[in-house]
Amino acid sequence: VKNVSSEVLWSTDVGQAQSFRTTILQPAYNNDSIYTIDSSGLINSINLSDGDENWAYNLNLDVTSGISFHDG
Q: Kindly report the average pLDDT of the chain as a whole number.
A: 85
From the list 61, 67, 72, 68, the residue with the least C-alpha distance to 14 is 67
Instruction: Inform me whether the pLDDT recorded for 18 exceeds 80.
Output: no
| pLDDT in the model for residue 34 | 93
- β partners of residue 48: none
**Residue 55 burial (C-beta neighbours within 10 Å; 0-12, 13-18, 19+):** exposed
pLDDT tens profile 41-67 = 999 999 999 999 999 999 999 888 888
Task: Tell me what percent of the residues of the chain surpass a pLDDT of 90.
Answer: 38
Confidence of residue 26 (pLDDT cuts 50, 70, 90): confident
Q: Which residue would you say has higher pLDDT here, 69 or 56?
A: 56
Sketch out the chain's domains with CATH numbers: 23-72 (2.40.128.630)
